[in-house]
Amino acid sequence: MLLIEDDALVRRGLQLALRRHGHAVHAAEDGESGLETLAAEEIDLVVLDLMLPGIDGFEVCRRIRAGSQVPIIMLTARGDDFDVVAGLEAGADDYIIKPVQPTVLDARIRAVLRRAVSDPDGVRSHRGLRIDTETLSVTLDGAEVALTPTELRLLLTLSRSPGRVFSRQQLLEDVWEHGYLGDSRLVDNGVMRLRAKIEQDPARPVFVQTVRGFGYRFGPV
């Protein structure tokens, strides 16, 4: 994995702790050197600090997403709603507010890596929407749809059981894999962004339908 953190003490401490948990850790002190390391090494996950000298974590995240689907955990001392949602919209798969215990970070890293494993079900086709769960590619009427990892997991979760109603809390647990208690806006924002990419008319969705008072479902085939 790659740890991008500008605070030398924090960087060194996390690097040593994560190595004790069995992770091979490359470390970078800023966004530019982090991007260079990502291009030069085989990296399976990035832990990215938000406040970096030069280009900040948001921009680093966007640059990574422009050419890679490697999982990204954003590590930040800023936990207000704006920063959290902005980080997720930039392409982060998860976020952790500092300070964080290494055991907690390790657990979250392993959860994100588990979610990054391809779904074995094969190909799902729904009214012109084709979801290949092995290559993790999505096409709509033959045109490729570019989804972030979180949007893709949301689509995979809903499409696995067409017609089944998922509550917002279920989607938080299944897609994000840990409790953002009461923060259902993450789900609503995720659904809104997904609809914008796969629905012909997001205001009248065919694929991701709202069940008022309950949650969301993938429209029956």
Q: Return contacts of 144-153, CB within 8 angstroms, 24+ apart.
A: 145/197, 145/198, 146/197, 147/194, 147/197, 148/65, 148/91, 148/193, 149/69, 149/71, 149/91, 149/93, 149/115, 149/116, 150/88, 150/93, 150/175, 150/176, 150/190, 151/190, 151/193, 151/194, 151/197, 153/115
Residue 67 has pLDDT above 90, yes or no: no
Euclidean distance between CA atoms 219 and 10, whole angstroms: 46
Report the amino acid identity of residue 175.
V
Between 123 and 118, where is the model more confident?
123
Residue 178 has pLDDT above 70, yes or no: no
**Number of helices (H) and strands (E), helices first, in the chain?**
8, 12
Residue 148 has pLDDT above 50, yes or no: yes
Between 83 and 106, where is the model more confident?
106
Show Cβ contacts of residue 193 under 8 Å, excluding neighbours closer than 6 positions: 89, 148, 151
Count CB atoms within 10 A of the CB of residue 135.
9
65-86: average pLDDT: 79
Weakest-pLDDT range from 5-14, 38-47, 171-180, 188-197: 171-180
104-113: average pLDDT: 84
Residue 174 has pLDDT above 90, yes or no: no
Strands, sheet with 165-167, edge to edge from the N-terminal-most edge strand: 165-167, 215-218, 208-211
121-135: average pLDDT: 83
Confidence class for position 221, pLDDT limits 50, 70, 90: very low
What pLDDT does residue 3 have? 97
Euclidean distance between CA atoms 92 and 115, whole angstroms: 13
Top-confidence range, 8-12, 63-67, 210-214: 8-12
Cα–Cα distances in angstroms (integers) from residue 117 to residues 100, 113, 133, 148, in the given order: 25, 7, 10, 15
Residue 78 has pLDDT above 70, yes or no: no
Q: How many residues does the chain have?
A: 221
38-52: average pLDDT: 92
Euclidean distance between CA atoms 88 and 108, whole angstroms: 15
- What average pLDDT does the structure give for the chain? 86
Residue 79 has pLDDT above 70, yes or no: no
Euclidean distance between CA atoms 3 and 136, whole angstroms: 25
What pLDDT does residue 12 have? 94
Residue 117 has pLDDT above 80, yes or no: no
Weakest-pLDDT range from 51-65, 83-97, 130-144: 83-97
179-194: average pLDDT: 77
What pLDDT does residue 81 have? 66
- pTM equals 0.60
Q: How many CA atoms lie within 13 A of 97 on its CB side?
A: 7
